[in-house]
Structure 1
Amino acid sequence: MIQWRPDVLGEGFEQLTFELGADDDPAFARADDGDGGEGRSARPLVSTLVRSLPAPLSVWERLTRRHRDFEDVDVLYVHGWSDYFFQTDLASYWTSKGARFFALDLRRYGRSLRPGQTAGYISSLEQYDAEIEFALAEMRASRPRSQEPRKLLLLGHSTGGLVLSLWASRNPGIADALVLNSPWLELQLSTRGRQMIAPIVNLGAKFSPLEGIPQLDYGFYMRAVREVGPKDEVAGINPEWKPEQSHPVHAGWLRAILAGHDLVYRGLKIDAPICVLLSCRTALPSRWSEELTRADTVLDVDDIARAALRLGPSVTVERIDGALHDVFVSAEKPRSDAYARLDRFSRGWRRALD
């Protein structure tokens, strides 16, 4: 029986684990199992759903018929690469307005990462459909029986923004809105660079999916997060789930990402309104400087802004001065600006549905 249990984030947060079947991690296929011959089928593959629910209205609030703006809204959050859900302030933003907040730690990430697994590995982004649909089924099943169907807002950061964009395009009519926080919609080498390296990556992934791909990560992004981000959230980050330097990149995983980028380039057909939140600037992290605390050091934000216009017919792009790659863990001023932009979009979206 599936049961909610206390989450590592403490009071107000619970988690639920979904079993996804046998793990197809290629590292297991070539490893000496040493487990009595059960092999890969004995390796757990799971995803984890975290929830935070709004406080019930007081007797006085009910008597005076107070209504919070998002009482009939569910939010589903998906994290980025080398990451997991830890942003408690983001959850509080939604629950304070009456929404139910849910977050997925995808397979082989964060709460869902199991010993021996290749962190973050996936061979196709469509494989994430399983946990997204598990999450949505649980969200539907757990809504109060007296309520009408709830509105669904998808909220994705970085790679999670790419995953949710592709999912929403393949599954029209389910999401009512998307909010994308620095979504990874195009490779940092630009469209032409991606198209040039894709055949090489695809060939390598076919024969050696775990072949390592060189990357330059000096840990400067995490240093910036620790210097300017919300202190309570930053202090609680699990370094095994969100390391100072990102997880190793493998050819099979990169092939899946490039395929997703190509679909975005060709144009998606997301039928819900979209808000894309981005920093105003990109900074190349070749050496540490204070500039890295005021810019996106992961993506080329101008390329992402252009790619965002290919997602669907209704896209709002919000550029935030001084924001980091995760706009909601930026310094206080750009972080407040990000929440103000989010508030403006979400309130307008919700009222337009009435």
Structure 2
Amino acid sequence: MTAEWRPDVLGPPFAQRTLPLGTDADGGVVATLVRREPSVWATLVGPLRDVDVLYVHGWSDCFFQVELARFWCDLGARFHALDLRAYGRSLREGQIPGYVTDLSVYDEDIAAALTAIGHDPATDAPRRRRLVLLGHSTGGLTLTLWAARHPGFADALVLNSPWLELQTGPFARQALLPLIEARARWDPLGAHPEVDLGFYTRAQRETGALPGEAIPAAWRPERGFPTHPGWLRAVVRGHATVAAGIETGCPTLVLLSARSSSPLSWSEQALTSDSVLVVDEIARAATRVGSDVTLRRVDGALHDVFLSAEPARTEAYRSLREWLVDGAVRRRAPRGMLAPPH
């Protein structure tokens, strides 16, 4: 196991670094940090040349969004993505993909990644660079909860279709919670019915968003990883925490599709909507994550708004750039600095 940077499966200019996290019943546990550096010119003149970005993927996923990394680097930011333990580059033989019983377990993964890029959460020392956390779906929930446990540490939080609420909504979640808790206690690794029929993957493929052969199929299976009661309890407890109201202490941008479609049957609507989450429920839950929240609904967007077909993808990037460069992030100085560079 190495802590050195080495070539990544995405090829140049991407590199990866293994972050050892200890051991569990399945053996060695690691996270993997992927980086892309901006050009020399962008580091000199880019409006975000003092920004570090840490991206966290969603469920049954890993980092492969080359265009997303290029977007940040073109603005001068240093881009990093984290494949969490038992996901993607960090998945080891014998591990249950994506399985944890508490989302706070990922605090260790996030701390290791932040320390590696110069933002150690264990220190209050001033930083010369700003930090933006970027999370998609379950990764958005994970980073939101992390930010609330470390309020004000990040300078901004960007959430791409974050899974902030159960698809059935808050009332059904509350009714189901005792059943979820009971099942997780006596059968944490039990099987759930299959709910991912592969239609979201098909929509990504038809928009041309998938990365071809660079990412092994085992890292992003067509119908997603199997889910288990212990994992679902962790997620639903996270939803309950958000519903009770939290404070991330930083400006937050939430990007969502304008509409949802059914995940249970294929239709052309799957190409222009979120077929994973109920976006109206997410929009309502987003009002509970802090005092400075901006919500942008992107017409025609998929669940991952940055993998949408045109013109929705361009609109998603336009909204993000506008918020970053002209909005709250541009005006916010990192901890210990009087003002961002001009």
What TM-score results when the alignment is normalised by the length of structure 1?
A: 0.89
Residue 156 of structure 1 corresponds to which residue in structure 2? 135
> Contact 2:36–2:73 at 8 Å: present in 1 too?
yes
CA contact (8 A) 2:9 2:215 kept: no
Tell me, yes or no, if the aligned pair for 1:47 and 1:112 is still in contact at 8 Å: yes
The amino acid across from 1:16 in the alignment is R
Match of 1:222 among 190, 201, 226: 201
The answer to whether residue 174 in structure 2 is matched with residue 190 in structure 1 is: no
Structure 2 unaligned runs (5+)?
121-125, 333-338
2-side partners of 1:189 and 1:163: how far apart? 20
Q: CA deviation at 1:199?
A: 1.0
Cα distance in 2 between the residues matched to 1:350 and 1:189: 34
Which 10-residue stretch deviates more, 242-251 or 202-211? 202-211
Report the Cα distance in structure 1 between the residues aligned to 2:329 and 2:247, rounded to whole angstroms: 21
User: 1:246 — aligned with what?
Assistant: 224
* Residues 86 and 97 in structure 2, CA contact (< 8 A), matched pair in contact too: yes
RMSD: 1.7
Q: Aligned partners of 2:127 and 2:181: how far apart in 1?
A: 46
The answer to whether the 8 A contact 1:70-1:350 is kept is no
Correspondence 1:172 to 2:173: no
Contact 1:225 1:234 in 2 (8 A): no
- Matched to 1:129, the amino acid is D
Contact kept? 1:226, 1:234, Cα under 8 Å: no
The structure 1 segments of at least 4 consecutive aligned residues displaced by more than 4 Å after TM superposition are: none
Structure 1 residue 93 and structure 2 residue 71: aligned? yes
Cα shift at 1:230 = 3.4
| Cα 1:194–1:141 shift into 2, 3 Å | closer
Q: Tell me, in whole angstroms, the C-alpha distance in 1 between the residues paired with 2:110 and 2:88.
A: 16
Instruction: Show the 5 A alignment for 1:11-50.
Output: 11-24=12-25, 40=26, 43-50=27-34
TM-superposed CA distance for 1:253, in Å, is: 0.3
Distance 1:237 1:89 in 2: 15
Is 1:105 matched up with 2:83? yes
8 Å contact kept, 1:229–1:332 = no
2:40 match: secondary structure: coil
Structure 2 Cα separation of the partners of residues 317 and 9 of structure 1: 31
Counterpart AA for 1:7? D
TM-fit CA distance, 1:288: 1.4
Figure out how many residues of one structure are paired with residues of the other and give that number.
326
Is 1:211 the equivalent of 2:181?
no
Aligned to 1:334: 312
Largest Rg, 1 or 2? 1
**Counterpart amino acid of 2:33?**
L
Deviations along 1:234-293, one digit per CA (max 9) or x if unpaired, are 564431111110100100000100110000000011110000000001000332121110
Against the structure 1 CA distance between its residues 234 and 190, is the aligned structure 2 distance closer, same or farther, given a 3 Å change threshold? Answer: farther
TM-superposed CA distance for 1:198, in Å, is: 1.2
What is the CA distance between 1:215 and its match in structure 2?
3.3
Of residues 227, 244, 247, the one that matches 1:269 is: 247
Task: After superposition, give the CA deviation of every residue in 1:94-148 in whole Å (9 maximum; x if it has no partner).
Answer: 0111100000000010000111111100010000000100111111179xxxx96
Residue 303 of structure 1: which of 281, 286, 293 is its match? 281
* Secondary structure of the structure 1 residue equivalent to 2:256: strand
Q: Residue 199 of structure 1: which of 167, 178, 184 is its match?
A: 178
Corresponding position: 1:55 with 2:39: yes
Matching residue of 1:31: none
Q: Sequence identity, in percent?
A: 51
**SS in structure 2 opposite 1:92?**
helix
Gaps of 5+ in 1: 25-39
The Cα of 1:351 is off from its aligned counterpart by 2.6
Is 1:5–2:6 an aligned residue pair? yes
Specify which of 293, 298, 302 is matched with residue 315 of structure 1.
293
Residue 173 (structure 1) shift: 2.2
- Report deviation, 1:349: 2.5
User: How does the TM-score come out when normalised to structure 2?
Assistant: 0.92
